């Protein structure tokens, strides 16, 4: 059998085993199915990162590049964790109780592997799909928060707590009606008021746990508070907000913007960072935002992108004077360079 990323599938390939969704809960295809384009699209929409093909090849003898192996291992671990997280979130929804020790073990021993992977945010983008599952968003936020936390100097138990906070930040949504969570359009003021209850509901689920630190509890409660006092649930401002909550807030925004939703398509990292930049001196902590931008420059340099005029290009540099990461210098396929600070063009797609 041969492992192939879903984006590389072509019609006519044969599945080498049963294919399920990322949570392992829904059976999508049986073994030995000859893939059609419709089925490939379905797999991509469900967010299946890879599958095994039955092509008579001995998988153990296949030679992958070092980068391919890192990506494959990331996808494997991600899918395993997704299955576990989905199971735990369904447990929380049913019993209104958080399996704390299992969640901590996931954050400390498995999600930490994703956080420590070089190129984690690149690979995470490839795992994104149309999904209204709170547990998938929570796993992604845990990884992004862990990476951002490392960039901000978090380490040891402090970093573990930040990853756990990212994993648990939206557990309060298990009590929110799906008709509101999955609504394909704008929420009414009454519906948004119900959504806003998820921070306090999540805090209630963990507040008596002796195994969860106060920092994690406050990050769950305060990740929608904003530096200028415009957030919820308490309208806190500045230093009144827990430091971990400030990191989770940025990870939460970035993940939400770069993932597909039923009411909109995902944004590029450049668009998401632009939104964060707009909030940097209002609701978000500037120092954390600037750390995020500085490191994302390194992440995005070398990326292949699609432009609004139909051309493809590669990110080669960022102007040292530019504060943000939204308008880099590009090398275009036709051999010319474009400075997006001087051109009325947009990046509409990123291919890694």
What is the per-residue DSSP string for 30-52?
A: -TT-B--HHHHHHHHHTT--EEE
The class of domain 2-61 in CATH terms is alpha beta
Give the span between the Cα atoms of 345 and 301, in whole angstroms.
18
Q: Which residues make Cβ contacts (< 8 Å) with residue 164, sequence separation at least 6? A: 103, 104, 107, 108, 142, 212, 216
**Integer angstrom CA distances of residue 116 from 22, 64, 70, 111, 258:** 21, 21, 11, 9, 21
Give the span between the Cα atoms of 302 and 329, in whole angstroms.
11
Rounded CA Rg of the chain:
21
Report the pLDDT value the prediction gives residue 79, as an integer from 0 to 100: 84
Give the span between the Cα atoms of 60 and 351, in whole angstroms.
28
Q: Supply the DSSP symbol for 106.
A: I
Report the pLDDT value the prediction gives residue 154, as an integer from 0 to 100: 98
Report the pLDDT value the prediction gives residue 39, as an integer from 0 to 100: 86
pLDDT by residue, tens only, the chain of 352 residues: 666 777 778 888 888 888 876 656 677 888 888 888 888 888 877 777 777 787 654 444 444 455 667 877 888 888 889 889 999 999 999 999 999 999 999 999 999 999 999 889 988 887 765 455 788 899 999 999 999 999 999 999 999 999 999 999 999 999 999 899 888 888 999 999 999 999 999 999 999 999 999 999 999 999 999 999 999 999 999 999 999 999 999 999 999 999 877 667 789 999 999 999 999 989 999 999 999 999 999 889 988 899 999 999 999 998 767 666 778 999 998 889 999 988 989 999 887 6
Report the pLDDT value the prediction gives residue 324, as an integer from 0 to 100: 65
Phi, psi of 329, rounded to the nearest 5 degrees: -95, 135
160 DSSP β-pair partners: none
Report the pLDDT value the prediction gives residue 23, as an integer from 0 to 100: 59
Report the pLDDT value the prediction gives residue 17, as an integer from 0 to 100: 81
Report the pLDDT value the prediction gives residue 57, as an integer from 0 to 100: 43
Report the pLDDT value the prediction gives residue 9, as an integer from 0 to 100: 82
Which CATH fold would you assign to the domain 66-266?
Hypothetical protein af1432 (1.10.3210)
Q: Which residues make Cβ contacts (< 8 Å) with residue 25, sequence separation at least 6? A: 83, 86
Tally helices (H) and strands (E) across the chain: 14, 9
What is the per-residue DSSP string for 241-307?
A: S-HHHHHHHHHHHHHHHTS-BTTBPPPPHHHHHHHHHHTTTTTS-HHHHHHHHHHHHHHHTT-EEEE
The structural domains of the chain, with segments of one domain joined by +, span 2-61, 66-266, 301-350
């Amino acid at each position: 059998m041969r492992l192939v990323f879903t984006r590389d599938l072509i019609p006519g390939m044969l599945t080498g085993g049963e294919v399920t969704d990322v949570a392992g809960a829904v059976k999508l295809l049986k073994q030995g199915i000859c893939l059609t384009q419709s089925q490939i699209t379905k797999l991509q929409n469900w967010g299946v990162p890879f599958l095994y093909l039955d092509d008579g090849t001995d998988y153990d003898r296949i030679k992958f590049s070092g980068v391919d192996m890192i990506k494959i291992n990331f996808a494997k671990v991600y899918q395993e964790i997704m299955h576990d997280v989905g199971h735990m979130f369904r447990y929380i929804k049913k019993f209104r109780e958080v399996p704390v020790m299992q969640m901590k073990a996931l954050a400390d021993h498995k999600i930490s592997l994703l956080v420590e992977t070089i190129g984690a945010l690149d690979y995470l983008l490839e795992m994104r799909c149309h999904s209204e599952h709170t547990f998938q968003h929570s796993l992604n936020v845990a990884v992004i928060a862990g990476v951002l936390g490392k960039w901000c100097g978090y380490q040891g138990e402090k970093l573990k707590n930040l990853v756990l906070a990212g994993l648990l930040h939206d557990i309060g949504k298990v009590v929110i009606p799906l008709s509101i969570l999955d609504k394909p359009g704008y929420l009414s003021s009454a519906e948004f008021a119900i959504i806003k209850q998820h921070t306090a509901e999540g805090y209630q689920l963990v507040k008596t746990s002796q195994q969860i630190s106060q920092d994690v509890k406050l990050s769950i409660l305060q990740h929608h508070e904003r530096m200028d006092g415009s957030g919820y649930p308490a309208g806190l401002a500045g230093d009144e907000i827990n430091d971990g909550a400030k990191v989770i807030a940025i990870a939460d925004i970035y993940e939400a913007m770069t993932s597909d939703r039923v009411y909109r398509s995902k944004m590029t990292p450049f668009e998401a960072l632009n939104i964060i930049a707009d909030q940097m001196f209002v609701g978000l902590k500037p120092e954390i935002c600037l750390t995020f931008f500085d490191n994302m420059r390194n992440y995005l340099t070398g990326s292949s992108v699609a432009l609004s005029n139909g051309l493809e290009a590669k990110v080669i540099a960022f102007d040292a004077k530019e504060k943000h990461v939204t308008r880099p210098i590009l090398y275009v396929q036709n051999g010319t360079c474009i400075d997006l600070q001087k051109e009325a063009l947009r990046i509409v797609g990123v291919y890694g």
